Amino acid sequence: MIITKRNRGYSSTRKYIQGKGFVDSLRSIGSYVAQNKDLIAKPMLGAVGNVGAFALTEGSKALITHLINKKRNEKVSVNNSDLHQLSPKENEILQSLIDGRSSGSPVTNIIGSGLKKFWLKNFFILIKMTEIEISNNCYDILEQVKYDNSIESRQYVDYTPQSQNNLNILGSPITIEINASDNYILPSDSVLYIKGQLVKGDGTAYDNPDEVALVNNAMMFLFSDIRYSIGNMSMETINSPGHVTTILSYLSQPDDYNTSSGLNMCCCKDTTNNANSAKYVTSVAAFAAGYTPRENPNYNQGFAIRKGHIMDANPKGSFSFAIPFKHMFGFGDYNKVMYNVKHVLTLTRMTSDNLAIHRAAGVDNGKVNLTNITWKVPHVKPETVKLMELRSIIESKQSILVAFTARTCESTMVSQTQNFSWRLNAKSAIEKPRWIIVGFQIDKNTTQEQNPAIFDHVNLTNAYVSINSEKYPMYDINFDFATNDYSILYEMFDRFKQEFYGFNSLVGGTQGNVPAFKKLFPIIVFDVRHQSDKLKSGIADISINFKFSANVPANTTAYAVTLSDRMYKLNSDGKNLVMSSK
């Protein structure tokens, strides 16, 4: 599977760690030794006398010093009662290596057939057993300062559709192109800016008493599909982008995201299923008697915040949101510059704006008028040395691997039964599914009184995925929402952010707490990353099987979001680059 490189994070004790750390250093050394055993072992095996002893001694000292310096801020101590105990001879050799003494025979005699075994086995046992005394980093007053001057300039450049006058043709595509040029651009850090206004169906503005707002993540619910291509190659096509990005936000973003930066992209989760912004229930009698009004059980905090944001504008209903490219596409994982290739972003408007608007009964239907869409993309100018390196790669006609986690979405109407099997579209040999995420909605996509950003548990009691007859999870998991027996599902939901994004639960949670998971966000997460050898090549035939404690209600839709490894190549002819399948 594709492994995203992350060199920082939090430990289980909430200690911030930057860099690879002591354990990863051992892994790196072990990996290097294993991959270069001939280069390391053969010359040392051929060494004799004091020359070989000197090489082993000095090399060991340097390696031990390197390991100590890599772990400056910790004291490593391991219970060695269960580890291999060193013989007196091995202890003598170790002390000689650490002290830098050339004791003659102990070191010299190792050189030969026993060297490789001693080095690979006993050295790593030695490291595990040894308690290393180190000093605090505050004493490292000669530590070098690191500079990154590899970027000479970084500027955002605006790209827009050919005309901003065709943004409100329902069912029509909106296309933004970046032509191939002598520039290095960074799509992963790009941002889509969308401006517009929520108005009544007749074009007039709403007023403050009107209980109406944009739904959570409304900008993505304006489009039926979004597409991104490089050259003539389609990199990602995402159907139902509103559902896909909403589900992934629930799984990955912390709860305070809704009251901070999330609103800048129209993301503020619902706390109930109601279009109600009144926090308290009031009455004339209570007010006259001096009573404190009681809280309104139908109050929806997310709805109230989103409504307040656009109703505070002049004219009312006006908005401007910034949608990161990474929020829309899995290709945002690929955080490398791209040179001299054409990029095309296509957004297809829904045939109505119903999914983007949430209103109370009795309020006039609304529509969304878009006035401007701009794709702001970073242009990076490398400094001279780095520029020469990049040009050398292209001129030498090297192929550049482009790997990322692609997103796809499928939906289907669920039959009114207690058992349902759903066969997803088969995945090609170049696309390997790693996560499958499912959500159900009962009658939430036809009118503006419904909310497409929340989900239903539909009395689900059992579910599993089959990939070419392999079952995930292997053993049945049974649950019952009626009796609050769904902790295993929530654990799967909560674990995703740590397994996929590297976020530790002790540092930040998801947007859904345990009660909200049942009422608003019952999203089922299947981890299918670990597959047998026979599944690692060829086409993947995928089906999802469900059991319910009662017949599924009418008008129930299931959404399946699949996250898959996808790999391409940028091939160079010495000047131009062309994207192709790997």
DSSP string, 302-327: HHHHHHHHHHTSSSTTEEEEEEEHHH
Closest CA to 276 of 303, 295, 294: 303
- Residue 529 · residue 434 · CB < 8 Å: yes
Q: What is the pLDDT, as a whole number, of residue 28?
A: 47
Q: Are 563 and 435 in contact (CB under 8 A)?
A: yes
The long-range contacts involving 10-14, CB below 8 angstroms and separated by at least 24 positions, are 10/504, 10/506, 10/507, 11/504, 12/504, 12/506, 14/504, 14/506, 14/507
Provide the 3-class DSSP secondary structure of residue 36: coil
Domain ranges of the chain: 9-139, 151-389+397-573
User: 187: closest CA among 18, 4, 341, 313?
Assistant: 341
The model's pTM is: 0.78
Walk along the chain (582 residues) and give the pLDDT tens digit of each residue: 676 654 444 333 333 333 444 444 444 444 444 455 455 444 444 444 444 444 444 555 555 555 545 544 444 444 444 444 556 665 666 566 555 554 444 444 444 445 544 554 555 555 555 677 788 889 999 999 988 999 999 999 999 999 999 999 999 999 999 999 999 999 999 999 999 999 999 999 999 999 999 999 999 999 999 999 999 999 999 999 999 999 999 998 888 888 889 999 999 999 999 999 999 887 666 666 666 678 899 999 999 999 999 999 999 999 999 999 999 999 999 999 999 999 999 999 999 999 999 999 999 999 999 999 999 999 999 999 999 999 999 999 999 999 999 999 999 999 999 999 999 987 766 678 999 999 999 999 999 999 999 999 999 999 999 998 899 999 989 999 999 999 999 999 999 988 888 777 666 667 788 999 999 999 999 999 988 766 666 678 899 999 999 999 999 999 999 999 999 999 999 988 999 987
- Position 31, amino acid: S
The partner residues of 200 in beta bridges, in order of sequence, read: 366
According to the model, what pLDDT value does residue 83 have? 45
Position 582 scores a pLDDT of 74
pLDDT value for 85 = 55
Q: Supply the pLDDT for residue 23.
A: 40
HSE on the CB side for 303, CA within 13 Å? 27
